[in-house]
Amino acid sequence: MRLELKDIKRGWLEQAYSCSLSDFPELIELAVEDGPEFSEPLAFQLRFQQTGKFVTVDGHFDAVVRLKCGRCLQRFEQILSESFALTFVPELKKCETEEEVELEVDDMSLIAYKDDILELQEPLQEQLLMSVPMNPVCSISCQGLCPECGLNLNREKCDCVKKPFNNKFTALADMNFRES
């Protein structure tokens, strides 16, 4: 998951990468921790453009991820198809001023490279992680779980919601009846 600058001939290069989960250890960790599960392959298309020592990357990926619905807790598959842009800049040498180094570190959209090698693994992994929805829902019409009995209301109906109201109402009615 790296590219040597000399492979960018005549200033640009278009590359397709078909990656496996073993290329992105953090994705495996997520799945182990009951988080999102990415499927293989993870397909990237990257277009590198070099201007002097700067390399911009226009990227796109398609991936399938299994998520847990925040309402009904069932797993469902979602297709992720995202575009992104990265800029690689040469790492500043120690002899250059500290101020310049700080500027570079603070700017998150820039990725430093050294020895004329672009390391792609971390930035691509980051793009995958950022594309995962924060509050996944299997469908906008998902009914979720019954807060009383835990039944999946997408599949079955229960009358928990009505019962407490009815019970109270009949209890009150009984009281009134006894008082009169």
What are the residues binding Zn ion (CB under 5 A)? 69, 71-72, 138, 142, 146, 148-149, 151, 158, 160
The residue among 64 and 160 lying less far from Zn ion, judged by its C-beta, is: 160
The residue among 110 and 142 lying less far from Zn ion, judged by its C-beta, is: 142
The residue among 72 and 80 lying less far from Zn ion, judged by its C-beta, is: 72
Q: Minimum CB separation from Zn ion for residue 177, in Å?
A: 29
**What are 56's strand-pairing partners?**
49, 87
Q: Minimum CB separation from Zn ion for residue 135, in Å?
A: 11
| Pairing state between β 110-113 and 75-90 | parallel
Q: Minimum CB separation from Zn ion for residue 137, in Å?
A: 6
Q: Please give the structure tokens belonging to residue 56.
A: 């911009």
Q: Minimum CB separation from Zn ion for residue 75, in Å?
A: 10
The residue among 8 and 142 lying less far from Zn ion, judged by its C-beta, is: 142
The residue among 50 and 78 lying less far from Zn ion, judged by its C-beta, is: 78
Q: What is the dihedral of CA 90, 19, 32, 36, to 10 degrees?
A: 90
**What are 79's strand-pairing partners?**
64
Q: Minimum CB separation from Zn ion for residue 65, in Å?
A: 15
